[in-house]
Structure 1
Amino acid sequence: MTDWSAYAKGILRAEMLRKGMSYADLVTALAQNGVKESEANLRNKVSRGSFTAAFLFECMDAMGVKTLHL
């Protein structure tokens, strides 16, 4: 059985690493798109893997990710 939360968390972390972005960088990028998150809240969301698909897409957009390979 697939742990989808861990899978989503892994995708987000991998893209952050690929883009060379820290959590602070992602918070700044999200804020530029009108998404307000604190760094601590973002870390907790990602750590738990408890975020919506919409939030994952907001993060991908903020990082400039246009294509995901699943």
Structure 2
Amino acid sequence: MTPSWRKPAGMFIILALILIWCIGIVSASSVIGAWPWWLQAPFYLIAGIVWIMPLKPLLLWMETGRWR
């Protein structure tokens, strides 16, 4: 069985998504830092979970070659 190019490509896409997400959150931190702690906590909790959502279809594509 020959190795698929989708796995290395998917790995780089995952790393790029994480990098883009981190840059977006860090660039918003100056605004969010001015919020009270009780608003910051749920924001960062949700932001820490939301980045995982696009990974499920990407991981499926890496394994099967289909998006659904």
**TM-score band w.r.t. shorter chain:** 0.3 to 0.5
Structure (1 or 2) with the greater helix fraction: 2
Name the TM-score, length of structure 1 as normaliser.
0.33
Q: Bigger radius of gyration, 1 or 2?
A: 2
